A = this chain, B = another copy of it.
Amino acid sequence: MEDAERKQTGGTTERILKAAAEIFASEGYDGARVDQIAERAGVNKAMLYYHIGDKAELYGEVVLDTLKRANEGISANLQAANTPEDKFRAVVLAVAQAVGQSRHLPQIMLREIASGGANLPESALRGMAGVFSTIRTVLVEGQEQGIFRDVNPLLTHFMIAGSILFLLASAPIRPRLAKIESLPEATAESPSDIGTQLADLVLNGLMCKAADGPGPVSPV
């Protein structure tokens, strides 16, 4: 009788999925407790099984939903660009924004990478592969036009995806690290900032002739 019972917002299924995303992101698949998810959603555990299914189905639903949103965001922000350079900027920015929007994607993805995708349904893998493929396409196109240096595409797109995911997912641990070493405090940058700066840095190292881009990036 503490304070729970908040059935206000949205349909039951939505509330369950939202709660599940939060818990799965912070606790991982094995760490998450079904009762805990139900409690946070303000529903009885049995409703969770009634509306969605067992733990694995619930997780699959969350991952798929989150990845779908991210993919939509990416392809939406990718229309206007023409040159490989513009496309590169657009795709990095789009990934950063999309990932930043679904707040729980970075943690979930990091864990899935770590476990080799142990809990990922096939459909979710397709979603991931789509993102990778988009980055890669832009990269190879630029290389074929002789605009980008002949860098390892695998390395590059893992660098981009890894940087974004890592940076966004590390928000909770950064304050703890900052307390120990004199690291910069939790500079709460927006995903857009991250995307823009990352694109600048990588592009600068990627272009054949040292294009001066939009000048040096502003510090912190």
Residues of A within 8 A of B (CB): 25-31, 106-108, 110-118, 125-126, 128-130, 132-133, 136, 149-156, 158-159, 161-163, 165-167, 169-170, 172-173, 176-177, 180-184, 187, 189, 194, 197-198, 200-206, 209-210, 216-220
Check A117–B28 contact: CB distance below 8 A: no
Distance (Å) between the CB of A88 and the closest chain B CB? 12
The docked-state distance in angstroms from the alpha carbon of A216 to that of B192 is 29
Tell whether, in the assembled complex, residue B217 and residue A151 are in contact, meaning their CB atoms are under 8 Å apart. Answer: yes
The reply to whether B154 and A187 contact each other, CB–CB distance below 8 Å, is yes
Question: Would you call B115 and A181 a contact (CB within 8 A)?
Answer: no
Task: List 19 extra interface pairs beyond A28-B114, A29-B31, A159-B166, CB under 8 A.
Answer: A27-B115, A28-B111, A110-B110, A110-B114, A117-B176, A125-B176, A129-B181, A129-B183, A130-B181, A132-B183, A150-B216, A150-B218, A151-B216, A153-B220, A155-B189, A155-B198, A159-B163, A162-B170, A165-B166
Closest A-B pairs by Cβ, 3 of them: A205-B205, A210-B210, A162-B166
